């Protein structure tokens, strides 16, 4: 290989340069809209391709696949899915404030169902798109640039006559930046633009007298009106939106909650997620007011019906929906767009300024072009009128000339050489003719029927009309006020024809407050069997079945129905569960696995202690691990708000064997697998924090570990059976902590 072709460079610098080039390509040429027309490149190319194909609003629909294929082949070589997705979104009136494409067929719906394949659907331009987005393309109002392979030309920006960046909004993800602009009401945007044109020193607050805030196609309620000024001043912020709810009274004195409008962020799969979230509130007993929920939405609009129980507080339930579901959500605003070739976050006034400047540029180029056309027409018209006055002489010149060039030279330069005239006077008059090139060509191409009297009169009237147009165009180009009035008149026409009433309500709403129903405090008994199924029964039922309950269940204790249950596991975790979340029923009911109502995983850990939060708060808690680490912890440390926390710290490979709440116990007895017993006073165990490992309780052999733990009181005759031998625990010799203990001999 020729060494002269090898470029030596720093790897990190090359990577940095390459990545920056890639990032800018994504930002400029794919992800972000241009503030002037509010369109991303793929959207602009789809609309221009439809314009080129002649798929106008008053012509038949064409297959979407035809549009996608033509766009991809000519202008956008990035795959058909991105092109079709863009076409679909521009046709969905529930996503866009102003739909730009008229779709025919299945173009998806607000509930998230996708559009049919492009081979099945058809499309054409909307009337507003043809008039306000593409109407002046033939007047050289924007620059055209080469396409990707330089075989076609495409507009660098469309000559959009309304602030589409605000009307339709935009969402996109680039490299290191995102854009998110909400849609707005066309009438309000036009009014704000007119206000800016009439007073360029206007403030954002004054502009918001015209543009109240976002106007989402799905309606809803914006609840933070006072924060909108800061959002439109800076171009960033968060808009809080709620769905619109109505109450319907039904038979039996019950009330139905009917959701008629949803937040804009709930479009698509958000509706199904909302339904499942409401069902989850019922399953987790966050509410017990729901009888049924159904989605009755149709083409006429959104209608989600939630049937409530007879005595339910409907307004309080709606507040629960606002707090726990996406019926109240936030829309993050970041008004980022391409301005003067670079990405820039802009406030409302900056966006309007960019659009107004663009309108003046379009108007200047448009009327300059129109003026040139009218001046050319005037030149030709004046030549034809002059020719009609000397038509006999011109006919004589034409009859006496050998060819077109000779006749034209006579008309333009007065050359009469070679031309046969009927008289000397005609030759003298011909030598005085001074038509221009264009006038001469028009005269030579003029048909004889133009010499009819009515045609000559029409020519004169047309000339007068041309002169009026020239005067008007010159006035528009010379006086900024005149041009501004023309732009404002056009904006008023679009507002009148395509404007609609605001859908989104803007107000200051208080934060939703959900009041949980006060439950009458009573005593209940919590039972957990050896399979991990937990349930609660009333204390009277427990007293009647006390012996059976104590025999059949691993954990049994009484507590208040408003309290919490604490479960300690062998992995050192603590799980808390509200008693109200535990199934309450009859004595023989099966209950539910603790896994279902907490983060506990029975497949990876085992419960070593189950007790009430109230009991813990009043006691010390003793921890013993398999590696004989012991400690005491104040039970108040386990009064936590989180549903899962670490209850103790464990060494690697260790596990918790016992967790015990202490009251009158005085001695601790540790039993190991190899038959060693050690009894010592609880006073030898120091009190530690829950995050501590603890101290060693007894010395263990190389493969030995603590198997069982017992607690006794003074004068306690409790006995246990060990390998066929009955041991009275208090008869064991008192030892000291951190000793080996005594090995019990077996028969």
The residues carrying an active-site annotation are: 120
Tokens coding 265? 């962020």
Separation between Cα atoms, residue 183 and residue 173, nearest integer Å:
17
- Cβ distance 134 to 47 under 8 Å? yes
Give how far the C-alpha of residue 728 lies from the chain's centroid of Cα atoms, to the nearest Å: 70
Q: Which helix (H) or strand (E) holds 56?
A: none
Dihedral over Cα of 579, 580, 584, 590: its sign = negative
The H or E element spanning position 66 is: helix 64-74
Is residue 570 a contact partner of residue 657, using CB atoms and an 8 Å limit? yes
**Residue-by-residue DSSP string for 372-428:** HHHHHHHHHHHHHHHHHHTHHHHHHHHHH-SSHHHHHHHHHH---TT---SSHHHHH
Backbone angles phi, psi at 368, to 5 degrees: -65, -45
Q: What is the DSSP letter of 137?
A: G
Between the alpha carbon of residue 537 and those of residues 531, 550, 556, 579, 589, the distances in Å are 18, 13, 11, 11, 9
- 272 neighbors 280 (Cβ within 8 angstroms): no
Rounded to whole angstroms, how far apart are CA atoms 591 and 533?
Answer: 6
Q: CA 135 to CA 604: how far, in whole Å?
A: 69
Residue 570 CB contacts under 8 Å (≥ 6 apart), including other chains: 605, 606, 607, 608, 655, 656, 657
Return phi, psi of residue 704, to 5°.
-85, 155
CA–CA dist 667, 729 (Å, integer): 10
- Candidates 686, 682, 690, 679; CA nearest to 656 is 690
- With beta carbons less than 8 A apart as the criterion, state whether 677 and 742 touch: yes
| Rounded (to 5) percent helix, strand, coil in the chain | 40, 25, 35
**Distance between CA 163 and CA 352 in Å, rounded?**
7
Beta bridge partners of 248: 256
Q: Please name every residue paired with 355 in a beta bridge, in sequence order, or none if there are none.
A: none
Q: CA 142 to CA 125: how far, in whole Å? A: 20
Residues 553 and 531: their CA atoms lie apart, in Å, by 9
Cα–Cα distance list, 693 to 668, 689, 736 (Å): 18, 9, 20
């Amino acid at each position: 290989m020729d060494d002269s072709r090898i470029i030596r460079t720093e790897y990190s610098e090359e990577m940095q340069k390459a990545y920056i080039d890639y990032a800018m390509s994504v930002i400029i040429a794919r992800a972000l809209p241009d503030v002037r027309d509010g369109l991303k490149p793929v959207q602009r190319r789809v609309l221009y391709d439809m314009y080129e194909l002649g798929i106008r609003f008053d012509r038949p629909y064409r297959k979407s696949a035809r549009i996608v294929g033509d766009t991809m082949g000519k202008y956008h070589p990035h795959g058909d899915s991105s092109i079709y997705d863009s076409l679909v979104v521009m046709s969905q009136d529930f996503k866009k404030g102003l739909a730009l494409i008229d779709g025919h067929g299945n173009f998806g719906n607000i509930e998230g169902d996708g559009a049919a394949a492009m081979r099945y659907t058809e499309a054409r331009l909307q009337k507003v798109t043809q008039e306000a987005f593409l109407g002046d393309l033939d007047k050289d109002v924007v620059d055209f640039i080469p396409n990707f392979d330089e075989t076609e030309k495409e507009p660098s920006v469309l000559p959009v006559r309304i602030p589409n960046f605000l009307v339709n909004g935009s969402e996109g993800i680039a490299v290191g930046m995102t854009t998110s602009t909400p849609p707005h009401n066309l009438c309000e945007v036009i009014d704000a633009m007119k206000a800016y044109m009439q007073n360029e020193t206007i403030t954002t607050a004054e502009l918001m007298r015209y543009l109240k805030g976002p106007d989402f196609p799905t309606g809803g309620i914006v609840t933070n009106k006072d924060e909108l000024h800061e959002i439109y001043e800076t171009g960033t912020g968060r808009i809080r939106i709620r769905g619109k709810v109505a109450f319907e009274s039904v038979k039996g004195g019950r009330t139905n909650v009917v959701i008629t409008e949803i937040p804009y962020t709930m479009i698509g799969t958000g509706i199904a997620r909302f339904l499942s979230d409401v069902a989850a509130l019922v399953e987790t007993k966050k509410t017990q007011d729901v009888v049924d929920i159904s989605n009755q939405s149709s083409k006429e609009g959104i209608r989600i019906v939630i049937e409530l129980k007879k005595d339910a507080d409907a307004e309080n339930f709606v507040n629960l929906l606002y707090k726990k579901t996406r019926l109240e959500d936030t829309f993050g605003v970041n008004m980022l767009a391409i301005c003067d070739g670079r990405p820039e976050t802009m406030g409302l006034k900056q966006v309007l300024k960019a659009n107004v400047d663009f309108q003046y540029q379009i108007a200047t180029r448009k009327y300059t072009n129109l003026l040139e056309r009218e001046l050319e027409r005037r030149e030709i018209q004046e030549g034809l009128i002059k020719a009609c006055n000397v038509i006999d002489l011109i006919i004589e010149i034409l009859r006496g000339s050998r060819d077109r060039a000779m006749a034209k030279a006579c008309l333009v330069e007065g050359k009469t050489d070679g031309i046969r005239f009927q008289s000397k006077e005609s030759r003298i008059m011909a030598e005085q003719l001074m038509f221009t090139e264009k006038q001469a060509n028009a005269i030579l191409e003029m048909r004889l029927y133009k010499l009819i009297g009515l045609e000559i009169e029409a020519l004169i009237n047309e000339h007068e009309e041309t002169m009026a147009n020239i005067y008007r165009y010159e006035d528009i180009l010379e006086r900024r006020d005149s041009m501004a009035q023309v732009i404002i008149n056009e904006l008023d026409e679009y507002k009148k024809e395509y404007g609609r009433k605001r859908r989104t309500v803007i107000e200051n709403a208080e934060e939703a407050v959900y009041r949980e129903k006060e439950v009458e405090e009573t005593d209940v008994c919590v039972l957990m069997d050896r399979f991990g199924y937990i349930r609660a029964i009333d204390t009277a039922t427990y007293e009647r079945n006390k012996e059976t309950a104590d025999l059949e269940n691993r954990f049994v204790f009484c507590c208040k129905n408003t309290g919490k249950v604490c479960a300690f596991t062998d992995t050192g975790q603590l799980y808390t569960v509200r008693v109200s979340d535990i199934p309450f029923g009859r004595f023989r009911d099966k209950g539910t696995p603790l896994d279902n109502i907490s983060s506990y995983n029975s497949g990876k850990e085992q419960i070593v202690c189950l007790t009430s939060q109230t009991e813990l708060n009043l006691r010390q808690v003793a921890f013993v691990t398999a590696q004989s680490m012991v400690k005491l912890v104040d039970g108040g440390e386990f009064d936590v708000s989180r549903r899962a926390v670490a209850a103790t710290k464990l060494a690697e490979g260790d596990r918790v064997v016992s967790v015990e709440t202490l009251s009158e116990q005085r001695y601790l007895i540790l039993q190991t697998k190899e038959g060693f017993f050690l009894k010592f006073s609880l006073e030898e165990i120091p009190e530690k924090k829950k995050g501590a490992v603890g101290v060693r309780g007894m010395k263990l052999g190389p493969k030995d570990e603590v198997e069982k733990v017992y607690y006794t009181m003074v004068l306690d005759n409790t006995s246990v059976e060990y390998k066929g031998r009955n041991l009275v625990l208090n008869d064991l010799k008192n030892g000291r902590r951190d000793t080996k203990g005594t090995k019990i001999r077996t028969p």
